[in-house]
A and B are shown apart, each in its own frame.
Chain A
Amino acid sequence: MEALEMFTSDRNADVYTEELKLNLGPQHPSTHGVLRVELAMDGEIITDSWCDIGYLHRCAEKIGENVTYLQFTPYTDRMDYLASMNNNLAWSLTVEKLLDVEAPERAQWIRALVAELNRIASHLIAFGTYGIDLGANTPFFYAFRERESIMQLLEKISGARMLYNFIRPGGVANDIDDAWMDEVSAFCDDFEKRWVEYNTLLTDNFVFIQRTANIGILTKELALSNGCTGPVLRASGVKWDLRRDVPYLEPYDECEFDIPVGEGTHGTLGDCWDRYWVRMREMIESVRIIRQCIEKIPPGAHMEKSMVKMYKTPLKPPPGEAYVRCENPRGELGFYVVSEGGNSPIRCRTRAPSFCNLSVLDKLLPGTMLGDAVATIGSLDIVLGEVDR
């Protein structure tokens, strides 16, 4: 036995192996921005990983403490720049909560309508870039074609292509008209056809399923404990959506829509395919909400009367604090604002959904292969502007 042990230990000593440290990012085609992940590799298999963020830290919270409540609205655009309507919405709701103001009814419906449109646009980017991550370039171009239509629609009402600054405390910047809503419903009809095409091209593709099913499995417990929200959490089987459970806008209370939950169709519950598929189905649910919004939108003012003066004199909420959560395309965006009665808050904290969703990455990667790492990062659908703020 002793000889055998000596033999084996000697053999091991002969083979000189070294752990390979691979640096993924910040400039890497598939880190969705400037995420840096340091991977310890054993051949193709990842043994350990360390996330490094902060390459896009833009001092948003410091700025929030120094500009007025209204002036911070365009900065919220620049956090989750793929879903700036939703960010505007969360910030406006926070300021409204501090001020005890409520937006007029029509404004709420407009908000829901544009927020859902932006959700589709955001998920389209997730879909397109996920295709690129997995080596299929064409879905990206199809996704951007539809996204371009949404951007043109939103540009017509807000005046900007990407960072809209449209939803403001007290309502929305401009009213919408019927012609625009007709265009939106035409887009919805077109989009539903395209959606089926996406599924033929990518979702049902054998190679795609092989690459994503059973990869990066996020269990329910891990997701909850790490504070994952949004599609990442729903893909793990938790049926939780703020729009349904804590409706923060009137339309979400009145509209009918389903909440897609991961089912483990092609593998284990909570794998990359589930996360992807939850996002794909959410797009269709958003289309449903948009259709109902167009149908039911009431007439009225698009901006609270008492709030119009905010353009000339800064808002001064009474001392206090407010925490408001909104269902963003990436999860629950929260703004925690502490006011001491001045022109600007003394603390303007953001709960960024991507930040929490990303924190789970280090636990998902070990044991998978390099190609899976790319698939996992893509399936979390992070926006670094929001992670780093």
Chain B
Amino acid sequence: MNEAGLHAKLGAAGIDGIGELDTSAKDPFVVVEADALVAVMTFLRDDPDCAMEMLHLVTATEREACIELAYHLCSYQHHHSFVVKVICPRPEGGNHDTWHPEVPSVAGVFDAADWHEREQWDLLGVVFAGHPDPRRILLPEEWIGHPLRKDFVYPSFLGDVPLELDATPMYERGPDWTPPSSEPRPAGEPLIQPPSPPSDRPHAGGQAPAKDEAPADAADTGKEG
């Protein structure tokens, strides 16, 4: 069955909040409401024509206006796959400190979602309501913030472990050294200046100067940042 067939099947299931199939994308997807997610997933798993045994991937993507969750499913019986998306719009001024979008957890439907959802919470700060074990998975428990958000501030210390390039080695610290993480982080002022965004990076649109071009012109193509 192709994506259109699956979408039709899903539409016939009588679940509210199922959007249209976006066929313009390379992998056609359907956007569903957050409330309908668990029902949709259960249906896709249990329906014998869909028989999506496996949840491949749970991905949260931060865009300008929203955080978008993509669920990649596939069926080994029927050799088809499907993408379900949930969109959480960004509230006014929502940044990584204040805004944690919430979607229902599908860990009860697919065991595989357990670790994937924990990872999305860890790295992007998406709250999965009803998750059996909502802890961080990759980063240490005492980590502040969610690093895959675009406005994440790079820390310079975790506990007393230095994360800066030019930090003093731990064994050379004086006896009266105190970890700077005890101070509150200044809001909006990163401890390390976050690296320049991708579009400003020197590689962007870098043009090779022609061989016979006067080298004097090449002087101002020097590396920025």
Binding site for B on A (CB under 8 A): 53-54, 57, 59, 61-62, 65-68, 71, 97-98, 222, 224-227, 229, 238, 240, 245-246, 312-314, 320-323, 325, 332, 334, 336, 338, 340, 342-344, 346-347, 349, 351, 355-356, 359, 388-389
B54 adjacent to A227 (CB under 8 Å): yes
Q: A226-B112, A321-B26, A343-B198 are in contact. Are A53 and B203 (CB under 8 A)?
A: no
Is there contact, CB below 8 Å, between B138 and A57?
yes
Q: Find out whether the CB atom of A343 lies under 8 angstroms from the CB atom of B111.
A: no
| Closest CB in chain A relative to B51 CB, distance in Å | 10
28 CB-based A-B contacts, threshold 8 Å: A53-B137, A54-B136, A54-B137, A62-B148, A65-B148, A66-B195, A66-B198, A67-B198, A68-B203, A224-B53, A224-B54, A225-B53, A225-B54, A225-B111, A227-B111, A312-B206, A313-B205, A314-B205, A314-B206, A321-B27, A322-B26, A323-B57, A323-B83, A334-B56, A334-B72, A343-B198, A346-B61, A349-B61
Q: Are B57 and A54 in contact (CB under 8 A)?
A: no
Chain B residues within 8 Å of A343, by CB: 198-199, 201, 203-204
A71 to B208, CA, bound (A): 18
Q: Is the CB–CB distance between A336 and B72 below 8 Å?
A: yes
Q: Report whether A313 and B72 are in contact in the complex, using a CB–CB cutoff of 8 Å.
A: no
Check B3 for interface membership: any CB of A closer than 8 A.
Answer: no
* A388 x B138 contact (CB < 8 A): yes
> Shortest Cβ distance from A9 into chain B, in angstroms?
34
Task: Note all chain B residues with C-beta closer than 8 A to A67.
Answer: 198
Interface, chain B (partner A; CB < 8 A): 25-27, 53-57, 59, 61-63, 70, 72, 76, 79, 83, 110-112, 114-115, 123, 136-140, 147-148, 195, 198-199, 201, 203-208
Q: Is the CB of B55 within 8 A of A227?
A: yes
Q: Which residues of B contact A359 (CB under 8 A)?
A: 111-112, 114-115
Report chain A residues within 8 Å CB of B148: 61-62, 65
A332 with B199: CB separation less than 8 A? no
Residue of A nearest to B199 (CB): A342
B199 contacts across to A, CB distance below 8 A: 342-343
Among residues of B, the one whose C-beta sits closest to the C-beta of A350 is B57
| 4 tightest Cβ-Cβ pairs between the two chains A and B | A227-B112, A54-B138, A347-B61, A57-B138
On whether the beta carbons of A227 and B110 are closer than 8 Å, the reply is yes
Measured between beta carbons, the chain B residues less than 8 angstroms from A246 are: 79
Give the residue name and chain of the B residue nearest to A360 (CB).
B111
In whole angstroms, how far apart are the Cα atoms of A161 and B32 in the complex?
47
Q: Say whether A336 contacts B112, CB under 8 Å.
A: no
Docked pose: A26 CA to B110 CA in angstroms: 28
Given contacts A61-B148, A320-B25, A342-B198, contact A225 B112 (CB under 8 A): yes
Return chain A residues, CB-CB under 8 Å to B201: 66, 343
Inside 8 A of A314's CB, which chain B residues have their CB?
Answer: 203-206
- Which chain B residue has the least Cβ–Cβ distance from A309? B208
Say yes or no: A57-B139 contact (C-beta < 8 A), given A68-B203, A312-B206, A342-B199: yes
Distance, CA A220 to CA B16, complexed state (A): 32
Chain A residues whose C-beta falls within 8 Å of the C-beta of B112 in the assembled complex: 225-227, 356, 359
Contacts of B25 in A (CB 8 A): 320-321
| Inter-subunit contact B147/A59 (CB<8 Å) | yes
Q: Which residues of A contact B204 (CB under 8 A)?
A: 314, 343
Closest to A311 in B: B208
Task: Kindly state the separation between the CA atoms of A356 and B63 in the bound complex, as whole angstroms.
Answer: 26
* Complex interface: chain B residues within 8 A of A222 (CB): 111
Residue from B53, B72, B138, B208 in contact with A312 in the complex, judged by beta carbons closer than 8 Å: B208
Please report the C-alpha to C-alpha distance between residue A313 and residue B72 in the assembled complex, in whole angstroms: 32
Which of A57, A66, A349 makes the CB contact (< 8 A) with B57?
A: A349
